Chain A
């Protein structure tokens, strides 16, 4: 195994171009488990923790651009107000030790259907910035996941950052697991209300071959709120509509039976999570209006 350690982003991209087989490593919370258990023995690893550019975040045309190397701890501390849904999901990641090392970039790279960052990135319509020595491109996160632990990256690319608009309304995240910490989600759900554009965003985790958005549920609930003029004058939402929203979220999932839970349980739990998180988000909307 070769150990590559670039110190600048340009150098990292050159190294990846020269060693397309190299496995990128940042916080190591996924990659080191693979190596420690001999599940993967890559020909080379490319350590990205000396690349300072990856640890920066800032704003760009009204969007937040967050470097792939920003840890969950920093997202909670530094971006919790602007990205509340992602911060909620980040608080459920592992333990303090894991949150101090793990990064959203790494979560996207691993592309696990259970990755905790994915549902809030889906619900808020984030973009993933990929870069190679020959240029960069931005892929909507809704097109980024292509299969179980597979994403849209070419093997000469690295993840530079993700881009997302600062919160545009209430956001929520909820996750089912056997403990409050150190848990891989049995299933998870994120919701983001975009009050100005009158849109509802969703993200489903751990209940399909990839993280998913529940598009029918989004359109249904945005329509309900629009028809009743509730975006402008927030009031009670018909409980039947909230129940239907839950059903549509459950219907969008493509879960399987596995050691963490059955497909039937996941669908049931997702309907509950969808109703609950919508209700929490809508209560917040009503309080703030």
Chain B
């Protein structure tokens, strides 16, 4: 066989870029999700584990620039790829405009869905800087919030869009 990887046993090392830094995880089981790798091996607890079937969006991350559910990516599929998690969107003491808008609009209640929504909203505003309410609903359809009823979340995305427009 050629260049592909066929480790003899089930455990492997994965090397990828996470939030701009090259990182490795060892002893990764072949059936392990990227979400598990991020949380349990790399200590990045921002991406939340809830449904493990792509229904809730709480584990939304960027994989090579595309918004995905980390629970549906096999750890090994992340080999050599670039991942950005919610930890890579803002930093301590310097929230991203999307995060600030969520705080200001009161879009956070229990907070469990918030990291996934931040990443999904960030992706939306990258693609469509001034989205309509319908476009926001469509873009966030894969992120479930059981507290807010979504109204404040939609307000927050509009607010973030205005904030980002002003800073451009």
Contacts and interface: CB of A to CB of B under 8 A. Distances in A.
Q: Sorted from nearest, which 7 A-B pairs have the closest CB atoms? A: A95-B142, A181-B141, A3-B30, A1-B30, A36-B52, A6-B4, A32-B72
Contacts of B2: 6-8, 10-11
30 contacts: A1-B10, A2-B7, A3-B5, A3-B6, A3-B74, A5-B79, A7-B3, A8-B2, A8-B4, A11-B3, A14-B1, A15-B6, A25-B74, A33-B53, A33-B72, A35-B31, A37-B53, A41-B31, A45-B30, A47-B74, A47-B76, A94-B142, A95-B54, A97-B57, A97-B67, A97-B72, A101-B69, A181-B142, A182-B55, A182-B141
A11 B31 CA distance: 21
Contacts of A3: 5-7, 10, 12, 30, 74, 76
Contacts of A37: 52-53
B117 to A, nearest CB: 12
A228 interface: no
Interface string B66-90: 1111011110110100000000000
Residue among A2, A32, A33, A181 having the largest count of chain B Cβ atoms under 10 Å: A32
A27 B33 CA distance: 12
A15 B2 CA distance: 10
B60 interface: yes
A110 interface: no
A98 B5 contact: no
A263 interface: no
Q: Which size class do B's interface residues fall under?
A: 35 or more
Contacts, number: 126
A167 interface: no
Given A29-B72, A45-B30, A47-B74, A5 B54 contact: no
A180 interface: yes
Interface of B: 1-7, 10, 12, 29-31, 33, 52-55, 57, 60, 66-69, 71-74, 76-77, 79, 120, 123, 138-139, 141-143
A27 B72 contact: yes
Given A28-B77, A37-B52, A97 B31 contact: no
Interface in A36-54: 36-37, 41, 44-45, 47, 49-50
Given A2-B10, A97-B67, 11 more contacts: A1-B29, A1-B31, A28-B72, A29-B54, A32-B33, A32-B71, A32-B73, A35-B74, A45-B30, A95-B57, A97-B120
A150 to B, nearest CB: 22
B57 A50 contact: no
A220 B57 CA distance: 45
B163 to A, nearest CB: 22
A179 B55 CA distance: 13
A97 B76 contact: no
B127 to A, nearest CB: 9
B147 to A, nearest CB: 18
A32 B10 CA distance: 17
A45 B139 contact: no
A18 B33 CA distance: 25
A8 B4 CA distance: 8
Contacts of A2: 6-7, 10, 30
Contact of A11 (B1, B68, B73): B1
A6 B5 CA distance: 7
B74 A28 contact: yes
Contact of A5 (B5, B31, B53, B60): B5
Contacts of B29: 1
B54 A96 contact: no
A100 B2 CA distance: 29
A49 B79 CA distance: 11
